[in-house]
Amino acid sequence: MSNYRPPVSDLAFVLEHVVGYPDVARLPGFEHADLATVVELLEQCGDFMANVVAPTNQPGDVEGARRQPDGSVTTPASFKPAYRQYVDAGWGSVPFPEEFDGGGFPWSVGLAIQEMLASSNMAFALCPLLTQGAIDALLHHGDQAQKLRYLPKMISGEWTGTMNLTEPQAGSDVGALTTRAVPRADGTYAITGQKIYITYGEHDMADQIVHLVLARTPNAPAGTKGISCFIVPKFLVNDDGSLGEHNGVNCLSIEHKLGIHGAPTCVLSYEDATGYLIGEENLGMRIMFVMMNSARLSVGTQGLAIGERAYQQALDFAQERRQGLAIGATGVNSAIIDHPDVRRMLLTQKAYLAALRRLMLFNAVHMDRSTHDPDETGRARANEIVGLLTPICKSFGTDLGVELTSLALQVYGGMGYIEETGASQHYRDVRITPIYEGTNGIQAADLVGRKLGIRDGASVTEFLSTMREVEAELADAGDEFDSIRLELGRQFDTLETATQWMLRTGRADPNAVLSGSTPYLRMWGLCTGGWLLARSALAARGIDDAELAETQLVLARFYAEQLLPQSGGLFGAATAGSRDLFALDAAALSDSARLRQNAPLN
């Protein structure tokens, strides 16, 4: 099994030349985060992840998290010391406000750190990721006393956080939750109920866990309108900031999962636990979406991250494994990297990963602009772009994460199916990413149901027009860019046609657009990836680095000629409507009904 190599050079190239990070560094509040400082920080972070966190990945998978008879949970032996070093180094605090002892760096820098952390060990990385969501919610909606009490130690990583949304009977239907929050005379609430799938809901890596819990107060409206959000710490916090008595929250069990074995996924029971209301009653959904939106971009980045780790190992294996004799080669056998189909698999992984990295960072840069641009119009437009791209990043990133780790396993052949090589762990670990933080079907529904209609469709059509500006740049760049320009133009045309169909059809027949939402979202992912790779190829030709320019051109051309055409093939599915999806009832979908009807008489 090969070691992890942090892709710092590509991260630096993308930040500087493709997604516009230098403009972010000039925004108010980010003056200290100039590109040179950021690149140096990422180099140091990459070294830490490769040397401290990455070695915990396979041992953590083998050992797993374990619930003890007393209800406590122990993580793999290597996790706790690695997490202590992570906290001491301050990597989790980098993108959070200096007011609460954070580093004050842009979110785009934090996302680059997250990629390297998740590549190193996804199960380990989930603990800081869930804490991040809880921090975001408190930053946006907590009162000053709550912020001062919880944020400094959560930002440092000394305390961790969770998001408690799902319940056994509710699943993704958050409006069906039944956890109760009963007001007390002292202003706190008594929280009672059960939550499932709570990542790092109990563990031994930190002294305190700050749970953010969705619950209903008495007489709250039904559905999502009646949900409130509460801080429910594992230990009550004394006035001096020290930890007091254990709160009424306990871990009933942890799940036995396909992957991410080192990360405990807990069933938590709340019995008259003390909770503190965040904001006002019945605003829980608004707070939840603050937690979820940044988490969704982070989960999309996990797909990229695990795909990158799997690709690196497959690339190393392809150079070491000798089998068969390549065309034109001499000797007994060749390294399998010399066979065309293995090259196809490796280049497919590399091109898709490059597209994903650019897409994630492009979105993150607009997140920074949406909060720090001094111009109100600029902030509003950046926020629209973030809204459009977030479901695409989450779904396209995680779908490709699964596909690319599967492709990496295929490079190994039979050896990939054997646990000792490590290839199968990545496939098992990444499979959860299209499911959690809102399934990819929910992301597609969000895209067509909420995001396309912003400003009566003007927001999305403006973004399409912005992407199409690259066609003129490609035309001016020379003949070697022609195939990229032609294929992008064809696919932009098709995406525009599909978008207009969605906008026309949505109000009259929402079932039709929802039926085509998943292939439509995939079209967007493919086209934005091709657009950003084209921008990379154009940017690289202006740098005095012939190898870089050739690499970026080959990736953009391969993607345009061999991967991007899939987008046009999805047009039929995106615009087919719902007729055939609902033409067969449940009985007709099962052959057993027909078999019973045709059974011979005795």
Catalytic residues: 437
CB atoms within 10 A of CB 144: 7
Nearest to 307 by CA among 266, 361, 273, 354: 354
Pick the closest to residue 195 from 142, 262, 270, 258 (CA basis): 270
DSSP string, 465-505: HHHHTHHHHHHHH-GGGHHHHHHHHHHHHHHHHHHHHHHHH
Sort 256 into a burial class: Cβ within 10 Å, 0-12 / 13-18 / 19+.
Answer: exposed
Spatial CA neighbour of 295 closest among 133, 440, 137, 170? 133
Is residue 193 within 8 Å of residue 167, measured between CB atoms? yes
- How far apart are alpha carbons 246 and 272 in whole angstroms? 12
Q: Which residues contact 55 (CB under 8 A, 6 or more apart)?
A: 78
Asked if 463 contacts 451 with a C-beta cutoff of 8 angstroms, the reply is no
| Gap between the Cα atoms of 338 and 4, Å rounded | 23
In the beta sheet, which residues pair with residue 194?
269
Token couple for 485? 């320009």
Residue 577, φ and ψ in degrees, nearest 5: 80, -165
Whole-angstrom distance, CA of residue 331 vs CA of residue 350 = 29
Contact criterion met (CB below 8 Å) for 472 and 482: no
Burial 488-527 (b: 16+ CB within 10 A, else e): beebbebbbebbebbbebbeeeeebbbbbbbbbbbbbbbb
Token pair of 60 as six digits: 């953590």
Please report the beta strands in 102-207, taking only residues with DSSP state E, as ranges in sequence order. Answer: 159-164, 180-183, 189-199
Q: Can you name the residues that pair with 335 across neighbouring β-strands? A: 322
Cα 143 from chain centre: 28
| Amino acid letter for position 54 | A
For residue 129, give both structure tokens.
């990721």
Tokens of 218: 């008495």
162, 210 contact by CB (below 8 A): yes
Return the amino acid letter for 468.
R
Residue 230 pairs with which residues in a beta bridge? Answer: 213, 277
